[in-house]
Structure 1
C-alpha cells in the first residue's frame, strides 16, 4: 500500500492499547484510538477499587504512544463499505484498517431483581457506584457476592479482608475453572478471611431483593449490598454493523484475527472469537491478541500474508486479599493442571502479574513515541473530542 495508512483502534483496553502502540511504531502508519473514557482502566484491579486499595486507572500518557491520537467518544456503528466509524458525538472517523477491541462487560443476570438491586464490578463507573454503596452501608452489613469465577472470588476476598461480612454464592462449585486440587487452598483462605462459601445443590440465585438474596433451595440470605459477578457480555457494535458474530456477539475471525467478512477489520481482546479456536476472556489473552492484530495489519500493509496468531498461557494468578493468593498453572493451551502454589508469597506474584501488562503497555508507548514521523492524522471531523492524556495515576 502506498502513502500514509490510517488505522483506527476501537477500544482502549489492554488489547486495543497494545495494538495501537505496535502499529504506531511503523513509519507511514497513523493511528487513532477511539475510547469512551479519557483514561486507561485496569480492569484486573476493579475489585481493589471497590475495596478502596486502588483507583484502577492510569493516564493514557503512560500507556499510549504520544503519536497516537486519542478520541474520547463511543463508536456506534462501523460502515465497512465506506471504511468509516460513526461516533456517539455525531462525528465519524475514517480508516484503511480497523482494530476491533471493544472489550466486554457484565452480562444480563436474567434473575428477577438482579438488574435493579445488584451491583457489578465489570466497568469503572459501576465499580465506583458499588464502592459508594458499600461506603454508605454499615460496616457490619451483610454483603453477598454472586459468582465464583476469578472476579467473584477476588472481590469476596478483598472485601472480607477489609472487614466486611461476606457470603460467596458459587452455584455448583467454587472456582469451576480451577483444577480440583487448587480449590482446597482457595476455600481455606476464604475461610480464614471469614467468607461464607455456599456451593452445591440448590446454591443458585433465583431472586434478588433490596435486602436479600433467595436461593434455589429456598434459603434466603440477608444482603444489604449484593454484587453480581456471574457472566460477561460483549458490546453489540459488531451486530449493529452487520458483521458476523458468534452466539455471544463476539466478532468472528479467522486464525489471523481477521473478520470473516472484511480483511480490513482485525479483532483483539474479549470481543473477538476465532472460528476454530475459542479462547478465554482475560487480560492474558488480550495483550497477546493486541500484538497479534497489529502483526496481521502490518503484514498486510507490507503486502505479505498474515500468519496465524498463537496464544500461549502458563497459568492464572488469583488474589485472595492483599496478603494471600493462588497461582494455578496450565498447559500452553490454557488447560489447567494440578500444579499450583498458594500463600502470602503468591500475593506478591499476583501483584507482579497485575503490573506486568501495564509495564508492557508503558514500554510499547515509549517505543511508539520514539518514532520520528511527520505522518500525522488529519484533524477530526466535527463531533469528535480529542483529549490530552489524563495523568491521574493509581494509588
Structure 2
C-alpha cells in the first residue's frame, strides 16, 4: 500500500516544486541564507525561486520562532518546517570569507555562494557582569529544553527563579514560570519595567505581576552573580535558578567582521554580495535599522527579497521600519499597543494577531 503512494508523492513534488534534495541549478545564482528565524524565513518565503537557488544554513531544519519559545517549557514547541523550494543544510557558520565568496562551517567545510544573507539573530548580552555567564539564557531551542528539564526536576516541589531583566521577554517568562507554580523574582535595573511602553500598559502589567505572586524589584542593577548569591546595587539576593533576559547583541564574528554595518538596502558596507537582516542590524534611531523584534525582522526579510526580485534596481527605495504595534503576553491576556492606545485582549486571539502582523 505504501509503495502505491510513492507516485503520488512524486507528482506532488512536481506540481508544487517541493524537493528539498534537489541540487542547485548552475543557471541560477546561489543564495546562501545563514539563519532561519523571523528574518531568514521571511526572506526565503518571498524571494523569487525561479531566479535564485536558495540554501539555508541553520543549526536545526526548523523555523525558530523565538517569541513562542517563551511558552515552550509549559506547552511544548511546535515544529515548523522550512519554506518550499529551500534546501536546508544543518550546521553552523564560523567564518565568512567575502573575497573568495565562501563561508567556513563548524565542520571545517567551505561552502561557496553568489549572494550571502546573514540572518543569524542575536546572542545574550551580559555587559561584562561577572558570573552572568552561569545563568540560564533563552535564545535557542536547547536553552528552553534545559529550562523545561529544570522545571521537571523534583516533581511537584515548588521551585524559585530569578529573572534578570523586565523587558517584554523577562515579563513573559516571569508569567510563564509563575503559572507553573514557581516562586519568581523579576529584577530590573531601570526605574520601571517595559522601557518604551506606555504608562497605561506598565501600570496594568505591574498589577498583574502582583496578582500572579511575582516579586518585582526595580532600580536593582545586578553587579555580580555568585554561586549562591546575586549582588545588586541595593544589596543581595539568594540565588536559586537565575534566568538572564537583560539584553542581546550581535554575535562576535558579526561585530568583528563589520557585518552589522549595512546601507539603506541592507547590504553590508564594502561587500557587494553580502547582506544582513534581523537582530544583527537592529539598533536605536540613527544607529540601526529598527528594534530587535520579530516584527522588524519580518519586514527586513520581505524588503530584501523584494530587492533581489527587482534585480537590485538602483531606484529601489531604502529600508524603513514601520511599527504596527507592540504585543505582550501575560497570564490570561494579550496587551496590544497601537498608535498610543493600549488594548487588552483574551489570549485566545493570539494566533490571529500573529497571522495578521507576521
> What is the TM-score when the length of structure 2 is the normalising length?
0.85
Q: Does residue 308 in structure 1 map to residue 318 in structure 2?
A: yes
Higher relative contact order (CA 8 A, sep 6+): 1
Residue 204 of structure 1 aligns with which residue? 221
Secondary structure of the 2:206 match is helix
Residue 342 of structure 2 aligns with which residue? 340
How much does 1:192 deviate? Answer: 1.3
Q: 1:8 aligns with which of 32, 41, 64?
A: 32
Instruction: Trace 1:267-278 onto structure 2 (pairs within 5 A).
Output: 267-273=276-282, 277-278=288-289
Is the 8 Å Cα contact of residues 139 and 163 (structure 1) preserved in structure 2? no
Residue 247 of structure 2 aligns with which residue? 231
Secondary structure of the 1:9 match is strand
Secondary structure of the 2:310 match is helix
Is the 8 Å Cα contact of residues 34 and 119 (structure 2) preserved in structure 1? yes
Is the 8 Å Cα contact of residues 126 and 246 (structure 2) preserved in structure 1? no
Change (3 A) 1:145 1:238: closer
Residue 22 of structure 2 aligns with which residue? none
Secondary structure of the 1:41 match is coil
Change (3 A) 1:85 1:149: same
Residue 180 of structure 1 aligns with which residue? 199
Q: 1:28 aligns with which of 36, 39, 51?
A: 51
- Structure 1 distance, partners of 2:150, 2:129, is 21
1:277-299 CA distances to partner (integer Å, 9 max, x unpaired)? 53100100111100111112222
Q: 1:77 aligns with which of 92, 95, 98?
A: 95
- Structure 2 distance, partners of 1:89, 1:177, is 42
- Structure 2 distance, partners of 1:184, 1:143, is 23
Q: Which moved more, 1:161-170 or 1:107-116?
A: 107-116
- Structure 1 distance, partners of 2:255, 2:326, is 31
How much does 1:148 deviate? Answer: 0.6
Alignment size in residue pairs:
329
How much does 1:157 deviate? Answer: 0.8
- Structure 2 distance, partners of 1:99, 1:26, is 15
- Structure 1 distance, partners of 2:262, 2:282, is 6
1:37-66 CA distances to partner (integer Å, 9 max, x unpaired)? 12222101121113x1232x4232xx411x
Residue 213 of structure 2 aligns with which residue? 194
Unaligned runs of 5+ in 1: 246-250, 331-336, 361-395
Q: 1:286 aligns with which of 297, 317, 333?
A: 297
- Structure 2 distance, partners of 1:147, 1:276, is 23
Is the 8 Å Cα contact of residues 315 and 328 (structure 1) preserved in structure 2? yes
Change (3 A) 1:222 1:47: same
Residue 238 of structure 2 aligns with which residue? 222
- Structure 1 distance, partners of 2:347, 2:157, is 25
Is the 8 Å Cα contact of residues 168 and 328 (structure 2) preserved in structure 1? yes
Q: 2:43 aligns with which of 3, 15, 19?
A: 19
- Structure 2 distance, partners of 1:277, 1:121, is 23
- Structure 1 distance, partners of 2:51, 2:304, is 18
Instruction: Trace 1:77-226 onto structure 2 (pairs within 5 A).
Output: 77-116=95-134, 118-136=135-153, 139-172=157-190, 173-200=192-219, 203-218=220-235, 220-226=236-242
How much does 1:109 deviate? Answer: 4.7
1:224-244 CA distances to partner (integer Å, 9 max, x unpaired)? 21111101022233345x3x2
- Structure 2 distance, partners of 1:307, 1:276, is 19
Change (3 A) 1:188 1:271: same
How much does 1:92 deviate? Answer: 2.0
Q: Does residue 58 in structure 1 map to residue 62 in structure 2?
A: no
Q: Does residue 260 in structure 1 map to residue 276 in structure 2?
A: no
| Aligned-residue CA RMSD (Å) | 2.3
Q: Does residue 327 in structure 1 map to residue 336 in structure 2?
A: yes
Q: Which moved more, 1:312-321 or 1:148-157?
A: 312-321
- Structure 1 distance, partners of 2:165, 2:107, is 36
Is the 8 Å Cα contact of residues 43 and 122 (structure 1) preserved in structure 2? yes
Is the 8 Å Cα contact of residues 105 and 123 (structure 1) preserved in structure 2? no
